[in-house]
Chains A and B, each alone.
Chain A
Amino acid sequence: MIQQSKIVINNLNFYYQKKQAIRDFSLEIPGNEILAVFGPANSGTTTLLRTLNRLCDLIPGTHMEGEILLDGKNIFAPDISVTELRRKIGMVFDVPTPLPMSIFDNIAYGPRLSGKKTKASLTDDVERALHMAALWDEVKDRLHTPAMRLSGGQQQRLCIARVLALEPEVILLDRPCSALDPVSTAKIEESLKQLKEQFTIIIAPHNVQQAGRIADRVAFMLMGSLIEQGITAEVFENPKDKRTSDYITGRFG
């Protein structure tokens, strides 16, 4: 049985004004896997992630060509609700950004936006999300204290929980551990490995080793183009393109 890929990107070209950031990008992303999209700085990984949840719409002067299909439907179709899309495809940013409110309100922020009001259902969502992000035990007694008081690693797990509270289908992570210490990084990587059973995860790691640790598939980008992609072990051990092997072995960065 051929399983339809969760996300299919067809011939994506993306421009910031005149500057082209993504060239002819095509990729199929299966569901319930961790895909790592990596490459040197300015290779377009951040831009790619932001087209997936259409956060790029917020930046003036950008335009794109091509299509991105989520479960077969083009996310750029005019009848698509962008807010709905962003609930299905959530994003965790490179710097932990708790909103200036309590832990509870941070996580309930998303559900409240979509109209949930009753205390009971919100509390359910918050609890479930915190469990899934492996943060529940550490904060269960102080849900109504300011989120800013958490440590960096905790704040980032809060951001993950915030996304999980909306019960998304895809989770995008843009260098989520770049500001964190190794212990926090390990905790988050552990959570991601468990979360992939329920969600499709696309991560732009801040170094190649992270891709090696947690990704099922990888895609190597260079200057906006897709150079190589495939199962992690295959790409890392037998890269087909010289540029891939050069980058992985650190010959350039």
Chain B
Amino acid sequence: MVALLTDFGFLFGDPQTVTTTLVDTFDGRLRRAGLRLELRKSEQLELVLSGDDIVPARLTVERAPSVLADLPRGPFRSRIAELIDVRALAPRLRVRMNCSTGVWRDSTDKAVSIAELNEGARVLGRPDGERATTIEIHEVPGYAKQAVRVREVLAGVGLVEQDHDTLERCAVESGVDLAGFKGSATVPLDPQMAAIDGFRAVFANLAVAISANWQGAIDQIDPKFLHDLRIALRRTRTVLRAATSVVPTDVSTAAAEGFAWLAGATGPSRDLDVYLLEWEHYTGPLGPEAVSALAPVRDLLEQRCRDAHLELEQTLQSDRAVELITEWRAWLTEPLDRADLPRRAERPLGKVVAKRIDRAHSALVEAGRMIDPDTPAEQVHELRKDAKKLRYLIECFGSLLPDKPRKRYVKHLKALQENLGEHQDAEVHIALLRSLTPELETAGAGADTMVAIGQLTERLNQTRIASRAEFAERFADYDSHRTQQALDAALDAISS
């Protein structure tokens, strides 16, 4: 092959052993955006960001980046920053091969086509399979004709053009899924199916999300694992509550109790994660002096966060947690004894779900109308929880509901939730700051730190007051004829 291309005019360099690692987030965000991030190790370590019809960008690095902050500021980092956000970058496929690059140059010594001969490519960490040799012809932009000519010559000697390049082919052959975990709140459902089958399908889908994020939350790979685990647990609890008279009482009672305990255990870690993630947003406007004075607060928050994670890790690895998940999964997979099911289990899923969503909506509206400027914060927090539960129900049974009215309804519900969330986050974070103060005083924190805590508390309090003042408007927007119309249209479609 090399001889043929050499005769054609290519000049090949010495072969090099190259280890290429495809890097992406756990949920494959880069791939979904049409990007590919490779870490190439030969004489040096180089990151290459490319994609279909995308000019590749290269960056020499000293070590593999695992989070965004490991990359230097600049266009390379900016391009992937919004995509990966807080997610960690992890290897998805590692391939080692001997690589020789051949360059075909024109009369002015300009490269007009590149050939890459990859020999003995093998996926590291997988059973050693067939080590094929491939040749990749890279078209040089502006010199398309030359690449066509080279491909014609190679086809002429019997080479077959492949759909995938060497790395993609290695992934396919070794069964590595480069797409990453793609969790969805809902699954395909039919309004006419038996309610018990629909609920079990939703629970099974949530159980997949719980399992997928379990180890990542223990290992603290990134904060999104705990976030997604917590959401999956909360959704499970919400659907369990809606499963009254559908799921056998002994099953739902045990599961509800177990998942309440587990979801509760994830709370402190997640609250502290959120605080630390929002830290710059909270403290930045206070100015550099205050930020510097607040360093002991951040240190203490980080310490508390580490302690909370340690506790969570122990909970997730406990016998009780493992037993809960194992028994839950067993119930979801074992055949049902259909003779002994609660009275609504065999009713059409659409009718049951429509009724539960309608009831949750009515309860939320009723509770919301009771809120006035003097309502205690606890009651506002309860409203927030009700709104969340309703949203989870709509998301988990989302595939039943027609898209248009569902999205219209969720838009208003989401706006209300954002307002309630802002209020609650400020409440929680003020309380947390107050709880830290005695410890900071004991540790000898300076007056500047105490003044900065006062400034931060005041800023959070302003956010709390502003969101509370905005509540009436947001709620009125939600509690409107058009929102009710959107919900009716969504529920009518599944309850007839």
Query: Are A and B bound to each other?
Result: no
- Which chain A residues have a beta carbon within 8 Å of chain B's beta carbons? none
- Which chain B residues have a beta carbon within 8 Å of chain A's beta carbons? none
